Chain A
């Protein structure tokens, strides 16, 4: 191997290693590691489910080097942080040779390991809007062993006062996918009912689980509603006790 140049992205000054708040959103620079995410007070306050997801990516050794932007750009269908970023409506800031652009994360993935990034483009940061009201969010994950495992299924549920419930799922389709409860049944204001089962089933029709070394298609399909309901219940408890306030307090 004889590279003409070797670029260490972690030393490119224009790429931020910081998490900053401005104009009602949090911007997470390309050099921000999972370990930095785990120690950040702003993330803890507004996006606690992102902490839950970042905490299970790889091992401590990996999290000390791996970046959130890298987890996104790797475009694994099972990327743990992506469902959380999806329910929160994250946007990807892309720099290119001639122009910069913003891509909603929901339109960023094309397939396993593939994104909309073109030759000469790279991601400089992610932006996540700070919720305007109280929220309850929960990350869920099915794995075979505690620690250092890839998800058989992962997901995130976001409940926000006055808004429909938002779901996102990983490892059950060629890309992570998001869904919204348009019925209002799952908004967290009432207990789980038969109608809630129906509403969830409708959201889950977008999933396309396959058989692989970590789990079978049928097993994934059977576990999806179980994990979704559990995460929803956790999100609902968190919404009830939410004191994370708004972006403008």
Chain B
């Protein structure tokens, strides 16, 4: 398959071999080649944030970058967030606050919120809303989603 590029991606701390056509997005490769289906495809044009992952610690829409741009970068997906002994405190807060309805937007919401909390551990409600403004929830569950991020950002 001469039209395939071969490269390595560092995803959730592991080097993964990839062979994929040049036009494949990071989202395509995560889901179809590496079978990390926690990252969701929805609009595929950067509007909805369902595919949000971290690249070098920054929130990025996986649908808007080519996977072939990513060698040498540290990629973290929703699957890489939970430590071996349990959920990320942010994930627990989503469960405790009942912030998950259909659930489709939640991996993206959590990755955006995690990037916020990493840089700003005690955000205000306004800051949370701004940080999540690139993530759409079509169930309309924003209120509890914001509550959950605020809970995770509150000392227990």
- A interface residues with partner B (beta carbon < 8 Å): 1-3, 6, 8, 10-11, 35, 58-62, 64-65, 146-148
B1-39: which have CB < 8 Å to A?
Answer: 2-3, 5, 21-23
B22-62: which have CB < 8 Å to A?
Answer: 22-23, 46-47, 49, 52, 55, 58-61
User: Is there contact, CB below 8 Å, between A60 and B69?
Assistant: no
User: Is there contact, CB below 8 Å, between B64 and A62?
Assistant: yes
User: Is there contact, CB below 8 Å, between B133 and A65?
Assistant: no
Looking at the assembled complex, report how far the CB atom of B48 sits from the nearest CB atom of chain A, in whole angstroms.
Answer: 9
Sample (25) of A-B pairs whose CB atoms are under 8 Å apart? A1-B21, A1-B22, A1-B23, A3-B23, A6-B5, A8-B68, A10-B69, A11-B69, A59-B46, A59-B49, A59-B133, A60-B131, A60-B133, A60-B134, A61-B60, A61-B61, A61-B64, A61-B112, A62-B134, A64-B58, A64-B60, A146-B129, A147-B130, A147-B134, A148-B134
Instruction: Assess whether B95 is interfacial by the CB under 8 Å rule.
Output: no
Can you name the residue of chain A whose Cβ is closest to the Cβ of B3? A2
Can you name the residue of chain B whose Cβ is closest to the Cβ of A64? B58
A58→B43 CA distance, assembly (Å): 15
CB contact between B133 and one of A6, A10, A146 (< 8 Å): that residue: A146
User: Is there contact, CB below 8 Å, between A61 and B134?
Assistant: yes
On whether A35 and B58 interact (CB within 8 A), knowing A6-B5, A62-B134, A146-B133, the answer reads yes
On whether A6 and B22 interact (CB within 8 A), knowing A60-B134, A61-B112, the answer reads yes
* A-B contact sample (14 more), CB < 8 A, given A8-B69, A64-B55: A2-B22, A6-B66, A11-B69, A58-B134, A59-B49, A59-B134, A60-B59, A60-B131, A60-B134, A61-B46, A61-B49, A61-B59, A65-B64, A148-B134
A8→B65 CA distance, assembly (Å): 10
User: Is there contact, CB below 8 Å, between B22 and A65?
Assistant: no
Q: Which residues of A contact B2 (CB under 8 A)?
A: 2
B134-152: which have CB < 8 Å to A?
Answer: 134-135
A147→B68 CA distance, assembly (Å): 30
Q: Which residues of B contact A58 (CB under 8 A)?
A: 46, 134
A8→B5 CA distance, assembly (Å): 14
A142→B58 CA distance, assembly (Å): 28
A58→B131 CA distance, assembly (Å): 12
B104-147: which have CB < 8 Å to A?
Answer: 112, 115, 129-131, 133-135
A11→B65 CA distance, assembly (Å): 14
Can you name the residue of chain A whose Cβ is closest to the Cβ of B135? A59
Looking at the assembled complex, report how far the CB atom of B25 sits from the nearest CB atom of chain A, in whole angstroms.
Answer: 12
Can you name the residue of chain A whose Cβ is closest to the Cβ of B55? A64
Q: Which residues of A contact B61 (CB under 8 A)?
A: 61-62, 65
User: Is there contact, CB below 8 Å, between A61 and B52?
Assistant: yes
A112→B47 CA distance, assembly (Å): 21
User: Is there contact, CB below 8 Å, between B65 and A147?
Assistant: no
Q: Which 8 pairs from chain A and chain B are nearest by CB?
A: A59-B134, A147-B133, A64-B58, A61-B61, A2-B3, A1-B23, A6-B22, A8-B69
Can you name the residue of chain A whose Cβ is closest to the Cβ of B51? A61
A60→B5 CA distance, assembly (Å): 30
User: Is there contact, CB below 8 Å, between B23 and A60?
Assistant: no
Can you name the residue of chain B whose Cβ is closest to the Cβ of A10? B69
Can you name the residue of chain A whose Cβ is closest to the Cβ of B2? A2
Q: Which residues of B contact A148 (CB under 8 A)?
A: 47, 133-134
User: Is there contact, CB below 8 Å, between A65 and B5?
Assistant: no
A11→B3 CA distance, assembly (Å): 22
Looking at the assembled complex, report how far the CB atom of B115 sits from the nearest CB atom of chain A, in whole angstroms.
Answer: 7
